[in-house]
Amino acid sequence: MSRTRMKRNDRIASCAERPLVCLAAAFFTLLPCRASAEGAAWEDLKPGEQRVLEQVREQWNDLPADRRERLRRGARRWQSLSAPDRERARERQQRWRALDPQKRQRIRERHERFRKLSPERQQDVRDRRKWFNAQPQKRRDQLRERYRRMSPDQRKRTRERINNTTREKRPRMQERQRGREHRGGPGHRRSERSPGRR
């Protein structure tokens, strides 16, 4: 295991003991930072940042500068969240802690693959996820079940087809797919031709 991954695992393990600090740090753990060589001393933190980071006060000045900067940004972000957003963050953290280690590792690996994508591909993934989440629950369940029934080879081909589809073609393909799913069956009659087609 690489040193970076070991440090990340240690950080995650220590977060279980300090959930508030972990929530604050979770927002910026994976973001690149440009901290100064020394980082901010505890005394340089604003009172609100110190309240959020109180649990790491004793070891603050011993932490690496980049980690202090990430924690500080996380504390600022935490302070800017509304009460409902904070509650959602706490719930996400509880769900994360409840996951088994293998599932967490798969999520980390998936996140790492996502980070390595170009910004355009990242946006594509976000758009596809947004489309999926916008579907009715019944449709999402159908899609998940269909994917589960696929063989590994079918899944791979499906992912490749989706990844090779341009953003412009995707809505048309989705419309055609929905049309195929609604057509067919006994007694199905095609609708009349549209006026523009002869």
Residues 164 and 74 in one domain: no
Place of tokens 């081909």: 157
Residues 100 and 11 in one domain: yes
Residues in the chain: 198
Host domain of residue 35: 3-105
Quick: pLDDT tens for 78-112.
999 999 999 999 999 899 999 999 999 999 999 99
Place of tokens 């963050």: 89
Residues 146 and 69 in one domain: no
Quick: pLDDT tens for 53-79.
998 999 998 899 988 998 999 999 999
Q: Does residue 64 fall inside a structural domain?
A: yes
Q: Does residue 195 fall inside a structural domain?
A: no
Interval 128-153 mean pLDDT = 93
- The number of folded domains in the chain is 2
pLDDT of residue 21 exceeding 60: no
8 Å CB contact between 16 and 22: yes
Type of residue found at 99: L
Q: How far apart are CA 51 and CA 196, in angstroms?
A: 67
Residues 68 and 157 in one domain: no
Q: Running DSSP on this structure, what letter comes out for residue 165?
A: S
Quick: pLDDT tens for 163-176.
777 666 666 656 66
The answer to whether the Cα torsion of 163, 168, 174, 177 is positive or negative is negative
Write down the pLDDT at residue 177: 60
